[in-house]
């Protein structure tokens, strides 16, 4: 796999928020963004909403913690609310993870987990990615 073309789009930028409903209202009312999708992901410890950025197919993902053990609660405790992750879309997450591992980067999960709308996701450790938590997303073809 070539260096070019590992990622196809910026899928979303994830923002840690304290209150999901308040954050959705802010993005709708102040920026005129439309909510494409909303769900609770127990495994990831988040309530989340995808806000569309125009017709770009990129989104802002609003992430609120489900409980104090959530990675989002820990992030807010340490860094406050704000940008928590950068998510790139990929066509084949298994191939991309293998390539990244060959290049010496640590993936957080041995196998992809379930993300928004049935997507498959994994993350590059922020310590291996210039201080940025990078998510890889292979969308569910049946998803939104
Ligand atoms: C932690 N660090 C970060 C960071 N979180 N750096 C940049 N961005 C972040 N979001 C830094 C932290 O300051 C430490 O730096 C170092 O990494 C190790 O942190 P730690 O305290 O040892 O580890 P934790 O317990 O904070 O865990 C960090 C990781 C955790 C990244 C391992 O947050 C994680 O598992 N994240 C992946 C899952 C996730 O984020 N789920 C929520 C979104 P110093 O202090 O050592 O310099 S769910 C989602 O996106 C979905 C469902 C979707 O998109 O579909």
Confidence grade of residue 142 (pLDDT, cut at 50, 70, 90): confident
Q: Distance between CA atoms of 87 and 116, rounded to whole angstroms?
A: 12
Share of the chain above pLDDT 70, in %: 97
61-96 pLDDT, tens digit per residue, is: 999 999 999 999 999 999 999 999 999 999 999 999
Give, using CA atoms, the residue closest to atom 34 of ligand 1: 71
pTM for the model stands at 0.96
CA of 3 to the centre of ligand 1 (A): 25
CA of 144 to the centre of ligand 1 (A): 26
Confidence grade of residue 34 (pLDDT, cut at 50, 70, 90): very high
Q: Which of 69, 83, 72, 99 is nearest to 6 (CA)?
A: 99
The average pLDDT across 113-124 equals: 97
10-30 pLDDT, tens digit per residue, is: 999 999 999 999 999 999 999
Task: Determine the length of the chain.
Answer: 144
pLDDT value of position 2: 52
Which ligand 1 atom lies nearest to the CA of residue 63?
A: 43
- Count Cβ neighbours within 10 Å for each residue of 86-96 and write b for 16 or more, e otherwise: bbbbbeebeeb
Structure tokens at 50: 């995808």
Average predicted confidence (pLDDT) for the chain: 96
Cα 48 to Cα 24, 64, 71, 105, 130: the distances in Å are 10, 6, 13, 27, 25
Give, using CA atoms, the residue closest to atom 4 of ligand 1: 133
Ordered by where they begin, the domains of the chain are 9-138 (3.10.180.10)
Give, using CA atoms, the residue closest to atom 5 of ligand 1: 75
CB within 8 A of 30, min separation 6: which ones? Answer: none
Give, using CA atoms, the residue closest to atom 3 of ligand 1: 126
């Amino acid at each position: 796999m070539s260096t070019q073309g590992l990622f196809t789009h910026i899928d979303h930028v994830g923002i840690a928020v304290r209150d999901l409903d308040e954050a959705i209202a802010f993005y709708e009312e102040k920026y005129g963004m439309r909510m494409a999708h909303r769900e609770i992901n127990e495994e990831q410890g988040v309530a989340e909403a995808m806000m569309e950025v125009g017709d770009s197919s990129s989104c802002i993902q609003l992430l609120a913690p489900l409980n104090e053990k959530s990675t989002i609660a820990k992030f807010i405790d340490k860094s406050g609310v704000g940008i928590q992750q950068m998510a790139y879309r990929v066509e084949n997450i298994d191939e991309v993870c293998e390539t990244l591992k060959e290049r010496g980067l640590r993936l957080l999960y041995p196998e992809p987990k379930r993300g928004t709308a049935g997507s498959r996701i994994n993350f590059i450790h922020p310590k291996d990615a210039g201080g940025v938590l990078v998510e890889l997303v292979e969308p569910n073809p049946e998803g939104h």
